[in-house]
């Protein structure tokens, strides 16, 4: 089973002059939905407010057949991301994430998180505890290293150092540049890295690499979600990436 935890928010997307269109969940949920569509059994941990956005996120998880481990915050609303020229994030409920009990980890094979949650106190403490417990239980760790305005590279490395190198990591050229990371340094962070840049993805490891173009209309989050579904079910990373880049990533999916 694939276990996912971390940031969770409603996105308000600019649509025409003075109009906003809501979307729910953010990058981690998009990855989780893609993994579920590719056949993964999946459990999702996050924290939402007791509000309409939180209910919409719960409904989206349920409709996709994803096992919910969502926490409900009575004091903080669901976090918001306002898209526009420069995105603005209002961190609220998800920054209050608490460590889960044993049931969250049961049956897990791979534990995936987003980097943002490791910079949001008090959620940072819970994130470190979750990774530590995953490591203790022998789970493979994965991280979405997305641009994190809260941290400089040194701070992020310090928080994650006990867990490096991870099993898998997703990043992109803009995020790596913002953190001062060169592609050749990514091996220090994870054994297998999917590096997205301008419509392409490179699979990087210490021993080999491969490059591919993304299929038209397929986003990086969708590819990485499919990839996690396959590697969590035991496929090798090269085969998993090749299958994840097919136009219909659900074909030949592997249940675990």
DSSP codes of every residue in 32-72: HHHHHHTT--EEEE-EEESSHHHHHHHHHHHHHTPEE--EE
| Residue 253 resides in a domain | no
CATH number assigned to the domain comprising residue 219: 3.40.1190.20
> CA dihedral defined by 53, 130, 120, 150, rounded to 10 degrees?
-110
Q: Would residue 82 count as lying in a domain?
A: yes
pLDDT of residue 57: 93
Averaged pLDDT, 12-17:
74
Spatial CA neighbour of 196 closest among 62, 71, 57, 31: 31
Task: Report the phi/psi class of residue 85: left, alpha or beta, with left for phi > 0 and alpha for psi in -120 to 50.
Answer: alpha
**Count of domains for the chain:** 1
Q: What is the mean pLDDT of residues 75-104?
A: 85
* Residue 251 within a domain: no
> Is pLDDT larger for residue 123 or for residue 26?
123
> Which structural domain range is residue 225 located in?
2-244
Rounded to an integer, what distance in angstroms lies between the CA atom of residue 135 and that of residue 107?
14
Within a domain: 249: no
Average confidence (pLDDT) over 174-199? 91
pLDDT at 150 over 90: no
- Do 214 and 245 meet the contact criterion of CB atoms below 8 Å apart? yes
The verdict on residue 147 lying in a domain is yes
In a domain, 50, yes or no: yes
Q: How far is CA 160 from the centre of its chain?
A: 15
């Amino acid at each position: 089973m694939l276990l996912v935890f971390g940031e969770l928010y409603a996105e308000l997307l600019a649509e025409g002059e003075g109009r906003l269109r809501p979307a729910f969940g953010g990058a981690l949920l998009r990855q989780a939905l893609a993994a579920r569509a590719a056949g993964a059994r999946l459990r999702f941990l996050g924290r939402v407010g007791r509000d309409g956005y939180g209910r919409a996120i719960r409904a989206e998880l349920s409709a996709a057949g994803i096992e919910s481990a969502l926490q409900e915050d009575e004091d903080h609303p669901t976090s918001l991301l306002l898209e526009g020229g420069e995105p603005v994030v209002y961190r609220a409920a998800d920054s209050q994430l608490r460590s889960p009990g044993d049931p969250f980890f049961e049956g897990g094979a791979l534990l995936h998180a987003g980097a943002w949650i490791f910079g949001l106190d008090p959620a940072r403490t819970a994130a470190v505890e979750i990774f530590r417990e995953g490591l203790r239980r022998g789970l493979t760790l994965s991280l979405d290293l997305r641009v994190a305005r809260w941290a400089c590279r040194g701070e992020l490395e310090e928080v994650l150092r006990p867990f490096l190198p991870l099993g898998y990591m997703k990043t992109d050229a803009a995020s790596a540049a913002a953190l001062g990371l060169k592609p050749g340094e990514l091996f220090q962070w994870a054994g297998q890295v999917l590096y997205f840049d301008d419509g392409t993805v490179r699979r990087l490891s210490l021993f080999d690499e491969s490059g591919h173009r993304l299929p038209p209309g397929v986003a990086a989050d969708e590819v990485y979600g499919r990839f996690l579904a396959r590697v969590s079910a035991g496929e090798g990373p090269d085969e998993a990436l090749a299958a994840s880049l097919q136009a219909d990533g659900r074909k030949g999916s592997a249940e675990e």
